[in-house]
Structure 1
C-alpha cells in the first residue's frame, strides 16, 4: 500500500507492505531525507512518527493501528537531552532523572544531595546516596572518587524502619504518620521536624497545621538524626534548613501564608546561605511567593502615635525575645541540636555499621536480632546488634575479649572504573548491598496505569443463565489460556491494554478507537499462535 510522509514542509510517498513495522518506516525516512541521527550519553536525536494525535511506537505495525492506504503520517526530528544521573528512591520505588551537564559528575556529593533534596522535597538528613554496588557516598568526596559516570543509577536509602514513615509523609497521611512516631523524645523531635519539612515542600496543609498545633515551629531547622550528633563538623550545611524555606523553594503559597499567620517571626528566618525568604523566592522564581512576601514586608504596623514597617517590627520583636531569654546573638559553633547521653549509640561515617539501608519496619535481619528500647519498631539510641554470625557486621561493632591484642583493620580497596586503579577511603564498609533495581518497577505498562487511561465499568459475576449466541470452541479457550500463561495478561487485561493504546489516537472518534483496540487484541493473539 502507498502512504505519505510529511517531513519539514515536504510530502513524499512510500510503497510499503501492510505489516511493515514503524521502525522500518523510520529507516526509509532517514534514507530518503538524509537525516543524521545519533544517540550518546547526553543527547539523543531521533525521528518521531505521529498519526491521528498518537506517537507510533517502533514495534507497531501499520495495519494493527488502523493505518490504511492513502494515509498521511507526520514525521518530526526531535532532540532530547538525557539525564546525567538517575536516582532510584527506596521510599517511592521510582527513579528520579537528574538533568544537567557533564560538569555535575565533577562536583561534590554534597551538591548532588542538595539537588536531590530539592527535587524530592526531602531534607538531606533523611536520606543517603550510594552506588549500585553498595558504596555509600559521603558529602566530603567528589563523585569522580566513586567512579560515577554519565547515565549511572544511584540508590537513595533512608533510616532503617523509616521507609513507611517517609512514604506516608510524602502522601500527607496524617493519621498514618502519627502511628510511626518513636517513643524516644530526641528521635520524636527529629521526626516531627522532618514531617513538617515534607508537608511544607509538598503542600500538605492539613498535616502541616496539625504539626504546628503540636508545638513544631516552622523556623526551627530540621537538624540531623540524634545518633549523628558527633558528626556535626561533616554534616551537610542544608541540614540547618527550616520548613519555611522548603515551602518557599517549592512555591507552596498556602503553606507560606499559614506559617506567617501563625508566627510573623518566620519572615526573619534565613537559610544556611544567609538568604531571607524573599531572596529565596526570587532565586527559585516563585512569583506568587515574591508578591506575598513583598506585601508582608512593606505592610505598616500602627501603634499609638507612630507606625513601623513589618520588617522593623519583626527585628524589634526578635530583640525583645532574646533579651527576655538572656540569649546571645552568636551561637557556639560546637553546639548541636541534640545532646548525647550515656548509653546512646553514636554513628561515625566510615567506622560504624550504616543504618540507612531502607530496611522495612518490623523486619529482622537474618542471623541478627534488634534489641530496641522503643516499642514502635524504630531503632532507639540504645539499640544494638546481637549475633556474631552475621556477615554484615563491621569489625568495629563486634565485641572481643582480646580487644587490646586486635590490630586495626583497614577498609578494603575498591577498583576504579575509569583508571582501573584501586582507591581507598569511606566506601561504605559494612553497608548492606541494595536490592537489584528491576526495570518492571518503573514501566508504564502496569494494569493500574492502563485502567487509569480507560474508563471501565465495575466487574461483576452474573451467574444467571443466558442464551448462547456464539458457539464456544474448546480450541479457542485453550489458545487463550496458553496466551495468558505465556504473555502474562489475561484476555481482560489484554483488552484494557489495547484500549489504552487506542485511546492515544485522540483525533479519531471513539468508535474508530474501539475498532483499533479490537484489531490490536485480535492480532496479538494471532501473532502468539503463529510463534507458538
Structure 2
C-alpha cells in the first residue's frame, strides 16, 4: 500500500501511521504490527524517525501467528474460510468474531456481516484487543475502541449501515475514541448517501400506542435501561461480573520481552496449539479377518445381550414345533456362535422383513443357488402343490419367510436359508406320494 499525505508524517508517531493503514486496508489496529525492513517491531509510542524511516521506505505488516488465512477470508468475504480458521479458545473466538464483523463492515461483505451478527458480535461494540494484550491499557492504540459501525461509516457502506441500524438503534449514538458519531465520520469522509440516511434516522420519532418519542430521547432511555440491567446482573451474580485485565492462567505478552506472536505464520505452521482447530485424522486401518469356509461363522466379540425371539401369530403349533426341531439340529452343526446384528425396525411392520443394512466388515459366506429344473417339471410340481395345499407357490414362499423371520438371532441370509428348507420340505410332503414317510432324501442345509 502506498501511503501518501500532504504533510510529512516522518515526525509523527507510529500510531498515526497505523491509523492511515487501517483506513486503507480495513484491518483493526489490534490485529497487526509494523516492522522495519530489518525486522524490528515499531511501537506506537515512538516516532518514525526513531526507526530511521525515510520517504520511500517499505515497511512490513505482520499479523498474529495462525491468523493469516482467517484474515484473508475476512478480506475476501469468504464465510466458509473464516469459519474454518476460527480459534477454539473462548476469549480469542469472541475477539475474532468482532474482527470479522469490523472487516466485513469496511469492505461491504453482507453475507459475512449477517453471519457475524448471528454469532453474537455487536455493531456498536468495540473491537478491542487480543486477550493476551488486554491487560496493558495504557500502551494500547486509541483506535482499539472503534466499532464496526465506525468502519462502515468511514468506508461509506450504506447497506451495512442500514443493517446495523436495523439491528440496534444504539449505533446512531455510538462514539469512537475521538468522540465522533457515525454521522460525523460519514460527513468527514464526504459520503453523502450515508449522511442523508443517518440524518433521517436520527431526526425520526419512535411511535408507541399513545406516545411518540424522538429518536435521541429513545436512545438515551434505552442506554439507561441497559446500564441498569448490567449493574443489576453484576450485583446478583458477582462471580460472573466482567473482570478487566489479565486473570490467573492467562497468557500475556510484554513488548520487548515476550517472544513475538505477530510474525504472520500460517495456520499450519503456528507453534502455539491454541490457534489450531481440531484436525481430523483417519482411523487406523483395520485388519480384515481371513475368509471362513462355507458352513462356519466368525466369533462374536461385541454382542453380549440376549435377544428374545417373538414369533408371528400366523404360525400354528404344528409348524412351529417342526421348525424348532429343525433349528436345534442346525445349531449342533454350527462351529462358532453367530454375530448378532441389530434389526432395523420397520414402522409398517411388513409380513416379510427386508434384510437389515449390513455394518459388519468380516468375510461373508458364499451364497449358492440351486439351478432351476425344466419348465414342465416345475409346472407339474406347482400345479400339484396348489391342489394339495390350497396356496400358490408365491403365497407359500411368503409364509415360509414369515416363519423364518421369527429367529431373530439369525442373520437375514440364515433366515432365508431356513425359509428355503421349509419351502422344499412342504413341497416334498405334499407332492411325494404317501407323505413324508417315503421321502428318504430330505434337503439339508448347513448354516
Please classify the TM superposition score into its range, dividing by the shorter chain length. 0.5 to 0.7
Instruction: State the distance in 2 between where 1:201 and 1:374 align.
Output: 25
TM-score by length of 2: 0.58
Instruction: State the distance in 2 between where 1:199 and 1:210 align.
Output: 10
Give unpaired runs (5+ residues) of structure 2. Answer: 234-240, 280-447
- 1:282 is paired with a residue whose SS is helix
Instruction: State the distance in 2 between where 1:226 and 1:325 align.
Output: 22
121, 146, 170: which one aligns with 1:241:
146
Flag the 1:375–1:98 CA change in 2: closer, same or farther, 3 A.
closer
Instruction: State the distance in 2 between where 1:293 and 1:350 align.
Output: 44
- 2:255 is paired with a residue whose SS is coil
- Kindly indicate whether the alpha-carbon contact (under 8 Å) linking 1:226 and 1:338 is maintained by their aligned counterparts in 2: no
Corresponding residue number in structure 2 for 1:294: 199
- 2:65 is paired with a residue whose SS is coil
Higher strand share: 1
What CA deviation, in whole Å up to 9, does each residue of 1:328-373 have, x standing for no partner?
Answer: 9xxxxxx998643333221011111111110111126xxxxx3524
Alignment of 1:348 onto 2:254: yes
Corresponding residue number in structure 2 for 1:357: 263
- Kindly indicate whether the alpha-carbon contact (under 8 Å) linking 1:186 and 1:338 is maintained by their aligned counterparts in 2: no
Deviation for aligned residue 1:325: 2.8
Highest Rg: 1 or 2? Answer: 2
Give unpaired runs (5+ residues) of structure 1. Answer: 1-95, 329-334, 365-369, 379-532
Where in structure 2 are the equivalents of 1:359-508 lying within 5 Å? 359-363=265-269, 370=271, 372-373=273-274, 375-376=276-277
What CA deviation, in whole Å up to 9, does each residue of 1:209-240 have, x standing for no partner?
Answer: 11101111111111001111222110000001
Corresponding residue number in structure 2 for 1:282: 187
Instruction: State the distance in 1 between where 2:87 and 2:135 align.
Output: 21
Higher helix share: 2
- 2:59 is paired with a residue whose SS is strand
CA RMSD, 1 decimal:
2.1
Instruction: State the distance in 1 between where 2:184 and 2:194 align.
Output: 11
Corresponding residue number in structure 1 for 2:102: 197
Where in structure 2 are the equivalents of 1:164-203 lying within 5 Å? 164-203=69-108
Instruction: State the distance in 1 between where 2:229 and 2:266 align.
Output: 46
User: How many residues end up aligned between the 2 structures?
Assistant: 272
Deviation for aligned residue 1:152: 0.6
Where in structure 2 are the equivalents of 1:249-328 lying within 5 Å? 249-326=154-231
Instruction: State the distance in 2 between where 1:371 and 1:216 align.
Output: 25
Instruction: State the distance in 2 between where 1:358 and 1:347 align.
Output: 16
- Kindly indicate whether the alpha-carbon contact (under 8 Å) linking 1:161 and 1:377 is maintained by their aligned counterparts in 2: no
TM-score by length of 1: 0.49
Alignment of 1:227 onto 2:132: yes
Corresponding residue number in structure 2 for 1:91: none
61, 86, 110: which one aligns with 2:15:
110
- 2:143 is paired with a residue whose SS is helix
Corresponding residue number in structure 1 for 2:427: none
Flag the 1:123–1:243 CA change in 2: closer, same or farther, 3 A.
same
